[in-house]
Amino acid sequence: MGKLLKDMNFIDMGLHYGYPTCCIEDFMVNAMVVQFSSGARTTHTEEQNKVSKDTGYTGFVPCQKHAKEILRGEIKLEDLIVNRQCKTPFPQGEHD
């Protein structure tokens, strides 16, 4: 499993875009579940789905803890993005 995750390159991608590791890990777990169940299932909570919807489906879904904090208004999604190496502003990628 460790090797597969490495192959999927999510950590590099997540760090590249400046996401916190807790959110990257949550993202990876969900991606694995979705992949192995043909997209029929997701580990995302209602809170995570709401944040994803509210932010216009940027492709980045924060972890459950951060999703709750965002919904409570304690932090903003943008606050999670630090040390972003990608030059284009969030949420666009370099190839958009």
Q: Under the rule (CB under 5 A), what is the footprint of Zn ion? A: 20, 22-23, 63, 66
Nearest alpha-carbon partner for 26 in 46, 48, 8? 48
- Indicate the residue among 5 and 75 with the shorter CB distance to Zn ion: 75
Does residue 57 come out as left (phi exceeding 0), alpha (psi in the -120 to 50 range) or beta?
A: left
Q: 70 is written with which tokens?
A: 């965002």
- Nearest-approach distance from CB 19 to Zn ion, in angstroms: 8
Q: Which is nearer to Zn ion, 54 or 94 (CB)?
A: 54
CB of 48 to Zn ion, least distance (A): 10
CB of 82 to Zn ion, least distance (A): 12
Task: Count the Cβ atoms, other than its own, within 10 Å of residue 54.
Answer: 11
